[in-house]
Structure 1
Amino acid sequence: MTTTKDNESVPALRRAVKILDLVGLQQTPPNAAEIARLLALPRSSTHGLIGVMTELGLLEHAAGHASGYRLGPRLLDWAAHVSSRQDLIGAFHHVVGAHPELAPYTVSLSTLDGDEVVYLASRASERGLGVHYSVGLHLPAVYTATGKAQLSAMNRAAFREWLTLYPLATWPPVSTPHSTITPGEIMEEIRVAQNEGYAMDDGQIHLGVWCFAAAVHDSSGHTAGGLGISQPKPANAGEVRDLMARLVVSIAAELSGRLGYRGDRQA
């Protein structure tokens, strides 16, 4: 549990948030003295904090107000990222809801976060099969189908840079006890995914469960995430494999199109 002492250990951050809230609500950009007065803060430390916030782009001097401040451009960058992610999640739910053929599968959406994927959305199988990927769940990217799909969508330079940051020797062991896949085999899976347009996780995360995934692209052509469909591996796996692969590629392409991606027609 977080204690009161812990909460009070970063007063500068709390003051910075109060300053942002205040500046955002003022019709006329306030100066440092007004900010200190309105928030009952020490004037000297408020001046110093405002200076750092201006340097970081959280505040900026308002044109026509020599000593007044308004919200800075860095906040707009953050807002754009939040808006973009919300657009992605909203588009995911719209597309998934429009395809009844997805009912047998758990459908998930993740984004790459370093050497992990973090799940942004998930819809469990309507038949009670498969697994559920909780929003916010982090898993090793190299063992998830959605992670491998995103890694396979990187260009060579970006993938080499990723491998420099996360070399094979640092990869965690596979989570399911009966899977003996090696880093070299994972690299081959990523290479195959580059050619096939989809990636697989065959029991590497959940024993007996397989997942197929394809990359999702935004309007600028960047990889926005990975879309996955999963279910317990069926007895007729050979027959079902091509069906699941085609389905996930098709749904990921539709989701990308909804985000404005135009494939080869991108500038």
Structure 2
Amino acid sequence: MSKPQDTVPALRKAVRILDLVKASSRPPLAADITRQLDLPRSTAHGLLAVMVELGLLEKTVAQGYRLGTRLLGWAGGATEKRDLVSEFYHELESNPDHDAFTITLTMLEGAEVVYLACRNSATVLGASFRVGMRLPAIFTATGNAMLAGMTDAQFDEWLALHPVSLWPKPLTPNGICSVTTLVREIAEIRERGYAVDDEQIHDGLWCFGSVVRDHAGQVVAGVGVSLPQTELGRYDMQALGDRAVRLARAVSFRLGYREVGGQQVA
């Protein structure tokens, strides 16, 4: 069998350069990189120039190369996401009071929420959640909670980037389908402190959502507490919303967020 053609050789060479720079005890010179990786001189210099331009590498005063700040930003983002998911699961493990509910953790990406973590209850919901799943933010409790957590300016910017003409068709008859309805929903969420998905994602499925904040007070995710409509009668609606708020605050606390009397403290 013939070997598959490598369609991105430059990318592989760039990764080899990054690995070499990271492993070197001192910032290697262009000549060192060329020799150790057995690269044509023109290829090495071309790649190094582009990698410096993109912030993947930085050139030292001695003309050596070290890892660039752009990589540090990527690494930090990946670490923060892992920490977020880890602390979410740690909180669930330490609090069995949530076992009767399906609990989800999502992040807002554009007009969608992405599911980062979930723990399904034994109760049949009629819908299943899985890591990596995406849903329109305006139909979800966590998505609307995160939209409500924006400043007015940020929310206006989000609306400008995602006009109603681009909104998906509602998944159920209860789905939000106008800016007026969404703005009213956002106002209600801000007043009561949590969001409610009243069968907007799936008939017979309710979810209560609240926001997770990082150490700087920025909204980084949303937690959802879901249960079937048939189980609603066993609980007080306000108590379900408060449950989502408490869980979100507990995860936020684990991430370093502190507040007293509703105000962030250093």
Q: Answer yes or no: same fold by TM over 0.5.
A: yes
- Structure 1 stretches lacking a partner, 5+ long: none
1:248 is matched by which residue type in structure 2? A
Q: 2:217, 2:264 within 8 Å by CA — same for their partners in 1? A: no
The alpha-carbon deviation at position 235 of structure 1 amounts to: 5.8
Q: Corresponding residue for 1:224?
A: 220
1:15 aligns with 2:13: yes
Say which of 107, 127, 140 aligns to 1:144: 140
Q: Corresponding residue for 1:129?
A: 124
The alpha-carbon deviation at position 243 of structure 1 amounts to: 1.9
Task: List aligned pairs for 1:88-99, cutoff 5 A.
Answer: 88-99=84-95
Residue by residue over 1:154-186, the C-alpha shift from the partner in whole angstroms, topping out at 9 and shown as x without a partner, is 00111111111001221101123x445422323
Say which of 37, 44, 53 aligns to 2:42: 44
1:156 aligns with 2:158: no
Q: Using the alignment, how far apart are the partners of 1:15 and 1:252 within structure 2?
A: 43
1:262 is matched by which residue type in structure 2? R
Q: Using the alignment, how far apart are the partners of 2:60 and 2:242 within structure 1?
A: 54
1:207 aligns with 2:203: yes
With over 3 angstroms needed to count, the CA separation of the structure-2 counterparts of 1:180 and 1:260, relative to structure 1, is closer
1:129 is matched by which residue type in structure 2? V
Q: Using the alignment, how far apart are the partners of 1:107 and 1:234 within structure 2?
A: 17
SS in 1 for 2:97: helix
SS in 2 for 1:234: helix
SS in 2 for 1:135: coil
Q: Corresponding residue for 2:59?
A: 61
Q: Corresponding residue for 1:258?
A: 254
Q: Normalising to structure 1: TM-score of the pair?
A: 0.91
The alpha-carbon deviation at position 239 of structure 1 amounts to: 4.6
Identity of aligned residues (%): 44
Cα RMSD for the two superposed structures: 1.9
Q: Using the alignment, how far apart are the partners of 1:67 and 1:235 within structure 2?
A: 67
Segment of structure 1 superposing worse, 10-19 or 165-174? 10-19
Q: Normalising to structure 2: TM-score of the pair?
A: 0.91
The alpha-carbon deviation at position 9 of structure 1 amounts to: 2.4
With over 3 angstroms needed to count, the CA separation of the structure-2 counterparts of 1:59 and 1:20, relative to structure 1, is same
Segment of structure 1 superposing worse, 29-38 or 166-175? 29-38
Q: Using the alignment, how far apart are the partners of 1:180 and 1:219 within structure 2?
A: 33
How many residue pairs get aligned? The number is 259
Q: Using the alignment, how far apart are the partners of 1:190 and 1:258 within structure 2?
A: 26
1:248 aligns with 2:226: no
Q: Using the alignment, how far apart are the partners of 1:170 and 1:222 within structure 2?
A: 27
Residue by residue over 1:44-75, the C-alpha shift from the partner in whole angstroms, topping out at 9 and shown as x without a partner, is 02101101111222111235xx2211111211
Q: Corresponding residue for 1:32?
A: 30
2:155 is matched by which residue type in structure 1? F
Q: Using the alignment, how far apart are the partners of 1:265 and 1:78 within structure 2?
A: 27
Q: 1:217, 1:256 within 8 Å by CA — same for their partners in 2? A: yes
Q: Using the alignment, how far apart are the partners of 1:35 and 1:137 within structure 2?
A: 42
The alpha-carbon deviation at position 30 of structure 1 amounts to: 1.5
Q: Using the alignment, how far apart are the partners of 1:186 and 1:158 within structure 2?
A: 15
Q: Corresponding residue for 2:190?
A: 194
Q: Using the alignment, how far apart are the partners of 1:244 and 1:121 within structure 2?
A: 20
Residue by residue over 1:106-151, the C-alpha shift from the partner in whole angstroms, topping out at 9 and shown as x without a partner, is 10000110111111111111x2432442111111111111100000
2:265 is matched by which residue type in structure 1? Q
Q: Using the alignment, how far apart are the partners of 1:37 and 1:11 within structure 2?
A: 18
SS in 2 for 1:109: strand
With over 3 angstroms needed to count, the CA separation of the structure-2 counterparts of 1:89 and 1:235, relative to structure 1, is closer
Q: Corresponding residue for 1:112?
A: 108
Segment of structure 1 superposing worse, 128-137 or 197-206? 128-137
